[in-house]
Chain A
């Protein structure tokens, strides 16, 4: 840890606590000297006297200190170090907290997927490097599954890239296709990494919020009631717009964009000649009465869309960190260039296991035994239960059409947080308070929006319901006893 000390000598002064000095509870004082600085020992003595250090011991007059500006970060990552997960993930380590925060299952993955990994690990060859852009058996399985879904052939070697999770696909896409001077339209609320990734690529995020339909009463709201204003959307497209990112089903709200909504977006993409980055990691988690539509299947869209998916979300194995991008060769080839210059290849045994899982479920597609369908059925029950728990205590959750999150307006709980000061949006304060006082974790929804929309979303928190019944029971107990 390093702390800069303001001083009147114009000398860059830093307290530095390293792990060694932490043990002695004594930070080391570093004075950063540039090559032109000429600080006399007398000045240094004055400095030390005023800061109450006994003597100048072991001052090295090297030209650089640990905190020399030469070793600071590159410009591309300036301001990208903070992150909602860094703030809230440590919570997960505390077993006394009921964690409906970060989005991962505490239900087990299907047994056949784990077996496939154990089998792959036992094969010598599968412990060594495989093809950089995707293990052959995996890209072939993906080509089969998605060929069926898209209704046209997908070239496993030219139109697919396997990445480290859906996250890695987003990064490869951004680095390959977005740069300084570009604008990228992002719909709020958005999975939080979109904005820092756009900024790291040197481009400007242009935000547009989903809004609750004006004629909607606040009781029994569905994610379908959160919509884009078509005129507002059209106004966001400029000559600098390189791409629009859509996420369907959406995290955190759970909205599934309808065909006509996707048509509106695609008309604009075609009119302005922009790309579409479609994050569809929750593509199989679709609840009754709704249909997931791939924008890449709309006319004129295949050639300008990268569609991103996730093995982690498909098979409930978020810790496997495998995902893929599917798109036309002339776009995928650029993502492949990024891949070969960033991490080169993804782990082999994990890719083999996902391939086996996909082949098994490909045979069962459309049938209830297919995991893609059975998981959605299981989660729908949990969704309904979560909604009932929240409604029982007077709240009105936004019922998601897909995905495994539910957002809810906490206003009915009337929680007074004025003692917590004014420097954070209400939902951040609420979640921190709730973790501490009620031992229940959620995620504040303003983490998923820009500054201008914070007021619109600051009463909402996001709850993850892909959890065991016992976890949901515990959450229910906490909420029922809220006012006690």
Chain B
């Protein structure tokens, strides 16, 4: 065809780190601590719930309600109503989506127009930037920065903070929304109530919508508490809170997510949804509903998966951190989530790979690590804006939500590597 084929809205968003690095990890035989999904099984009761749904009669295989399968939205309303301490209307305040990813898409498409600004806190889950761009909006970035430490003590994600003045300076009359992610991917930061209050105050002052990506909400460690910004005064009516069945139940392949918020805002997300995918798969929603029903009854007890999972992951988190420290890769101990980032600046290697010459240092390092050492990770500059990427090229991200055997294999690789080289 002679004319331009593609729509301008997709210009500049065709590159994608997952497409590139997942392919690379598949091409080489690697120990994969890259993409964020468990390599262990979901809890048996959730797998059983899906099987039960599959065998559950005709209606399980046909269209259900477009905005969310009634048993699922009902239990989500009940469950999260109890968590935030006020009634949530199952049919007005909730939209079920194809993963939290689609909830983010619906939110941006519903609320962001040309020239609107959206504040994004760095480092950020990489899709926020292209989604804002596709909606015609402009990303305005503000980084978390590590507070400088005395004595070289290992940092935790709690030491990475926002400057309140810097954050306040990013708000202006064109600001439509701010995106926060807590616990954060890739850093693992769990925002404290006081930190959320600073953000909330600015949202209220400037009449801005808050998009709160809380997919890792159950995964907090060392006593860190997950706080929902929507529960702060004045925030319910201006916040869209996004959650994930895949992360909650270690079944990322089911792609069941949701957006919860005040009806007047959620209704716009529904309009996007009904004009894009319309329905989500029935059986998967039924199974997630069963999962939440069980968790509602067991909430706070030792049988709750939402307690068992973070306990299990805590061990793995500590194991990986110890391993990384022992080989001179300084980990930033995460307070929450699936991931740990590591400072690679003291790990000098001869990246003799002309094919990656023009790429950021961490991209080159990660590709070298895949090809030469058989270990897959993700470069952290992918989670920074194009403007700030060059300042954060010295970190790589590890996913520790893996079987112990996988973590052991990674440990072997790193130990062997360390034994055969100088470390500054």
Contact = CB atoms under 8 A, between A and B. Distances in A.
Interface of A: 1-2, 18-20, 62-64, 66-68, 70-77, 80-81, 83, 85-86, 89, 102, 104-109, 114, 117-118, 121-122, 124-132, 164-165, 167-168, 171, 175-179, 193, 196-197, 200-201, 273, 275, 303-304, 316-322, 330-331, 333-334, 337-338, 340-350
A100 to B, nearest CB: 14
Given A75-B113, A105-B62, A346-B98, A114 B277 contact: no
B282 A168 contact: no
A167 B278 contact: yes
Nearest to A304: B1
Given A71-B265, A165-B277, A317 B102 contact: no
15 contacts: A2-B264, A62-B204, A70-B176, A81-B270, A109-B61, A124-B42, A128-B38, A175-B9, A319-B62, A320-B282, A321-B280, A330-B5, A334-B10, A340-B16, A343-B97
The 4 closest A-B pairs by CB, nearest first: A348-B253, A319-B282, A179-B7, A124-B41
B50 A349 contact: yes
Interface string B41-72: 11000010011001100111111111000000
B38 A275 contact: no
A121 B10 contact: no
Contacts of B300: none
Contacts of B134: 341
A190 B83 CA distance: 45
A81 B271 contact: yes
Interface of B: 1-3, 5-10, 13-14, 16, 18-19, 22, 35, 37-42, 47, 50-51, 54-55, 58-66, 86-89, 92-93, 97-99, 101-102, 105, 109-114, 127, 130-131, 134-135, 176, 204-205, 207-209, 234, 237-238, 250-255, 262-265, 267-268, 270-272, 274-284
Q: Which of A77, A128, A129 is most buried by chain B, counting CB atoms within 10 A of its CB?
A: A128
Nearest to A353: B54
Contact of A132 (B7, B14, B18): B18
A320 B61 contact: yes
Nearest to A347: B255
A86 B274 contact: yes
A350 B13 contact: no
A102 B63 CA distance: 9
Contact of B268 (A73, A106, A117, A176): A73
Contacts of A168: 276-277
Looking at A273, A337, A340, which has the most chain B CB atoms within 10 Å of its CB? A337
B63 to A, nearest CB: 5
B132 to A, nearest CB: 10
Nearest to A346: B255
B10 A77 contact: no
Given A128-B252, A171-B277, A80 B271 contact: yes
A178 to B, nearest CB: 6
A318 B63 contact: yes
Given A319-B62, A345-B255, A164 B277 contact: yes
Given A127-B41, A127-B253, A342-B276, A331 B5 contact: yes
A165 B254 contact: no
A337 B253 CA distance: 20
Contact of A347 (B14, B55, B284): B284
Contacts of A118: 51, 54-55
B237 A66 contact: yes
